[in-house]
Amino acid sequence: MTSPSMIALTFAALAAVAACGDSESPNRPIDAPAAPIDASLADPVCATCGANEICVQKFNGTCGRFATECQPRDPACTGTACSTACDVAQCREGMDGGILTCFAAGCAGEDPAALHCYGP
């Protein structure tokens, strides 16, 4: 015999699964291109970086931006995409004591032309 509480729990679980149907699907297909880059997010500091420098934005653990700077680019770090080389050379070096990393979830307000480093 099934108890009323077990029936209620089963019904709640089925309702939760049904709520994840097509009505919650995004309006664009999964493989559709993302929205265009918002030029208003550009940080004026990044525009001052030289040819041998990389723009690095640093965020704290609550996505507050605490620094944007031009750093000498390590030859192993090409582009601004996060990689092990960029993480070691650009995020973990310097006065921050190695506590920053680019391997973290992004924050709102990131300059698309910068490497993004995140702290605890």
Q: How many domains does the chain have?
A: 1
pLDDT digits 0-9 by tens, 62-108? 888 788 999 999 999 988 999 999 999 999 875 556 789 999 988 88
Q: Is residue 58 part of a domain?
A: yes
Please check whether residue 43 is in contact with residue 116, taking contact to mean a CB–CB distance below 8 angstroms: no
pTM beyond 0.85: no
Q: For residue range 30-70, what is the model confidence (pLDDT) as tens digits? A: 443 444 444 455 678 889 999 999 999 999 888 887 889 99
Q: Specify whether the CB–CB gap between 77 and 86 falls below 8 A.
A: yes
What is the span of the domain harbouring residue 74? 41-118
pLDDT value at position 10?
43
Tell me whether residue 26 is in a domain.
no
pLDDT of residue 50: 93
Residue 15 lies in a domain: no
Q: For 50, which DSSP code?
A: -
Residue 94 lies in a domain: yes
**C-alpha triplet 87, 92, 95: angle, nearest 5°:** 150
Query: Which residues 6+ apart lie within 8 Å of 57 measured at CB?
Result: 43, 65, 67, 68, 110, 111, 114, 115, 116, 117
